[in-house]
Amino acid sequence: MKRLSVFMLFVVAVMMIMAPVAFALDTSAMVNIKNSGDPCLNPNVAKSSAVISFATSTLGTAATGTVITGVTSKSIYVCNIATTLTGTSASLNTFKLISGTTTTTACDVSAATLTGLMGALGANSVAGVSHIIGYGGTILKTTASHNLCTTTTGSLTGTITYVQQ
């Protein structure tokens, strides 16, 4: 019993000596991320997500749909995108993200291309090609008051994480 007490005292003494070293934490990097101005990186800004689910009525013919509806005077900051694109032919499976406002069809006014044409340019694209884009920070930003839309020539499903401010 005496040995156990001596051992416990030794452990407590070591912990008291080591405590200032073991728990020293430099928070300057965290403060910089928090105040970086990037809403996707800011832990105090709530993130939202949306489901992407579009299919063209005729494969190979482009169709545009709204992924996120814009809010007056606010931009959409895209943090991450995960999609799967399927269809019946490698050349018919493409998509891109655009922004704009809507009069008749999705993003038909002041349309701006936000990404290049993405897709599966290979023989196995019919089975489904996944795209995972993002590192947690902002990867795309719309003009204020614009919708975020996708133009696809196949069947596109997935999720998108974003901040609207």
Task: Give the pLDDT confidence of 72-129 residue by residue, as tens digits.
Answer: 999 999 999 999 887 666 556 788 999 999 999 899 999 999 998 887 655 445 557 7
Give CA separation, 51 vs 39, 87, 139, in Å. 20, 19, 18
* Residue 128 burial (10 A CB sphere; 0-12, 13-18, 19+): middle
Fold designation for 39-164: Jelly Rolls (2.60.120)
Q: Do the beta carbons of residue 77 and residue 148 sit within 8 Å?
A: no
Each domain of the chain, given as residue ranges in start order, spans 39-164
Side chain identity at 109, as an amino acid letter? V
Q: Report helix, strand or coil for 50.
A: strand
Could you tell me which residue, 44 or 26, shows the higher pLDDT? 44
